[in-house]
């Protein structure tokens, strides 16, 4: 006997959790679920985040700016545990009404400025410090096009392929096939672009690379969803070259560690408040909580 096909009701109502990983934090309404003020550190930039691909974009950007000597890019990175619902606290929602990490407060001016959505944060920081975004109109436009490509494409990778392949309570062949096809198409888009260009905008490393690498670089190395073999990621040779090249950058190595709560304890810096934290406060150096 097979289950009867699902027939959508005339009006959808939320009367049960949808199952799967993250079901406990999914809901069809916005706004805070509880009151909680956010901590504020000593630096001009206050980041509230987690080392998901979207979070890694911003910590890599900040570490790259610091590596260039932009002292105003010093930042405090506070951990937001999305599995616990920290993103629904009132203080976080005040910065990002969409309740998604990362969220940034710039307190360097007379009035604090909130910035949310990872692409917006990258653009804001690039404009503020005059770095990683070309001045030449053609190259700048190319970089912005790839930045927006990432913002529009990654939901198919994460919310589409990743969800149905790795997180959904049941495996649905149609859904996995649909999003696997789109994910491989996107990898092919990147591979063709990188065949003739060192970086996505051309010869220079920009916010486009910083935005795309945490998602597609991780995918190319089989680090997300356990899907490397399934998607034959090794076939995208130009993406592999670009991924390896960016991964070697010291600022990228540091940025990947910030707000990370999984993997090798030596790679986890839950919070970052000073450059020296990378040497003294990774999880392998802290006494275990008893």
CA distance 63 to 254: 7
CATH assignment, 11-289: 3.40.30.10
Per-residue pLDDT of the chain (290 residues; tens, 9 = 90+): 457 888 999 999 988 766 666 777 888 999 999 999 999 999 999 999 999 999 999 999 999 999 999 999 999 999 999 999 999 999 999 999 999 999 999 999 999 999 999 999 999 999 999 999 999 999 999 999 999 999 999 999 999 999 999 999 999 999 999 999 999 999 999 999 999 999 999 999 999 999 999 999 999 999 999 999 999 999 999 999 999 999 999 999 999 999 999 999 999 999 999 999 999 999 999 966 55
CA distance 157 to 231: 12
Whether the pTM exceeds 0.75: the reply is yes
Partners of 115 in the beta sheet? 104
Give me the residue spans of the domains in the chain. Answer: 11-289
Cβ atoms of 269 and 260 closer than 8 Å: yes
Give me the sheet containing 113-116, strands edge to edge. 75-79, 45-49, 103-106, 113-116
Q: At what angle do helices 118-129 and 137-155 cross, to 10 degrees?
A: 160
């Amino acid at each position: 006997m097979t289950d009867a096909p699902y027939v959508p009701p005339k009006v959808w109502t939320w009367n049960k959790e949808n199952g799967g990983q993250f079901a406990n934090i999914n809901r069809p309404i916005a706004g805070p679920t509880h009151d909680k003020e956010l901590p504020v550190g000593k630096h001009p930039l206050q980041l509230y985040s987690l080392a998901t691909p979207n979070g890694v974009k911003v910590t890599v950007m900040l570490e790259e700016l610091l590596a260039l000597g932009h002292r105003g890019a010093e930042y405090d990175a506070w951990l937001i545990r999305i599995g616990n619902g920290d993103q629904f606290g009132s203080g976080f929602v005040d910065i990002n009404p969409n309740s998604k990490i990362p969220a940034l407060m710039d307190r360097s001016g007379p009035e604090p400025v909130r910035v949310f959505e990872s692409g917006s944060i990258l653009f804001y920081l690039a404009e503020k410090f005059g770095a990683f975004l070309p001045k030449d109109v053609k190259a700048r436009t190319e970089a912005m096009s790839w930045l927006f490509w990432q913002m529009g494409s990654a939901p198919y990778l994460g919310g589409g392929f990743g969800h149905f392949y790795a997180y959904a309570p049941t495996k649905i062949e149609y859904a996995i096939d649909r999003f696997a096809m789109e994910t491989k198409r996107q990898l092919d888009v990147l591979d063709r672009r990188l065949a003739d260009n060192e970086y996505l905008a051309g010869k220079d490393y920009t916010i486009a690379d910083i935005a795309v690498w945490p998602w597609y670089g991780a995918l190319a190395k089989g680090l997300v969803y356990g899907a490397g073999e399934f998607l034959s990621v090794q076939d995208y040779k130009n993406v592999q070259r670009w991924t390896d090249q960016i991964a070697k950058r010291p600022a990228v190595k540091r940025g990947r560690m910030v707000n990370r709560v999984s993997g090798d304890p030596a790679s986890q810096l839950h919070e970052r408040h000073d450059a020296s934290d990378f040497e003294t406060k990774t999880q392998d150096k802290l006494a275990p909580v008893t």
